[in-house]
Structure 1
């Protein structure tokens, strides 16, 4: 599977980059106690920081809001998924557990304050391109809503759009039957390549510790 960034997106955001991690032979199940405990403690610490560290002071989230504006997305109507998660916690609403893959994904999104997407590789057709959506792009999100993806950063394959830094699609969502997965990490452009690779390696290491299997990663610009 080849993953690229479209010329249209590069023209709008020349420094745009994503990380891709391919997982093989993984086991998705209920989250282990280690992950559940870390996620709970992390959420509690974030709740305590809510007054001292408002969302307006969190640089990765604010940078992503600017990226949304650059491509024509209203960030107050369609929030980066990392911001949506953090707002829920700031309001005192703890994140419910889905399964080990989604919970790990949410953990890193909160830790690094950037959007991540995790997809079932067997539900992806052909190569993947990260692009800016057109009027024809839409999909049913994991939230059950039909998502109009025009003027939004998205990922698409041979069947069409299936993911974004906002919400992912039901078509490619990871379930407890998933054995092969693709992690897309939507970095903020100001992040150095060295730091981005360190983050990718940390995500890969923890994911494999929890799910087993093997993985390879790549920084895509």
Structure 2
């Protein structure tokens, strides 16, 4: 899968870098040892905030700023990393979905970066990351119809399929052998991005049987 960026972000002085990992994986329930690792990251991350709000995280703050510049209210359409962090800080805990989604969430919790993960067999042609136009929508995972206007979205030849708030049902992660694309959507300072990409690759190898891994910075 190839991703390009539209001019929507540069025109609004939005700093953006995408970290793309593609790999062949086996998607299944997470093993107990990985769940323990994820739960440990959750505990340490909660302690780091020390009663500060989720929006105090620099990456979450940068994403919120980008949403506002694009014309979307981040308090109503929360970026995924912020929504997940707010859930943890409210004491609701982490949900366990499958090994790939759990890797996604572990890195998102640590970094404050919203991450989109997609089954590439369900994507048609090249992908562009751009601002959504009026009238664009899709069925978000667990959200029903999502009004995309103003959100930064991933689009293929079939239309929008992902954004930092909620990805679509069309490309959602399902169990079995699949090729995935995992995109770290880094607004603001990207100094730590490559480190998070390396950590993500290691987790995919250790817990998702990842092979044929490629990494691209966009």
TM-score under structure 2 length normalisation: 0.93
Q: CA deviation at 1:11?
A: 1.8
Distance 2:206 2:22 in 1: 15
- Partner residue in 1 for 2:59: 60
- Partner residue in 2 for 1:218: 216
- The worse-fitting range, judged by mean Cα deviation, of 201-210 and 73-82 is 201-210
CA separation of 1:56 and 1:162: change in aligned 2, threshold 3 A: closer
CA separation of 1:160 and 1:83: change in aligned 2, threshold 3 A: same
Distance 1:113 1:86 in 2: 8
TM-score under structure 1 length normalisation: 0.92
- Partner residue in 2 for 1:36: 35
CA separation of 1:125 and 1:56: change in aligned 2, threshold 3 A: closer
Query: Which structure 1 segments of 5+ residues have no match?
Result: none
Report the number of matched residues. Answer: 217
> For the Cα contact (< 8 Å) 2:55–2:82, is it kept in 1?
no
Query: Which structure 2 segments of 5+ residues have no match?
Result: none
Distance 1:37 1:116 in 2: 21
> For the Cα contact (< 8 Å) 1:46–1:90, is it kept in 2?
no
- Partner residue in 1 for 2:147: 148
SS at match of 1:168: coil
Distance 1:165 1:144 in 2: 14
Equivalent runs, 1:96-115 vs 2, <5 Å: 96-115=95-114
Structure with the largest fraction of strand: 2
CA RMSD of aligned residues (A): 1.5
2:15 corresponds to 1:3:
no
Distance 2:168 2:178 in 1: 18
- The worse-fitting range, judged by mean Cα deviation, of 77-86 and 7-16 is 7-16
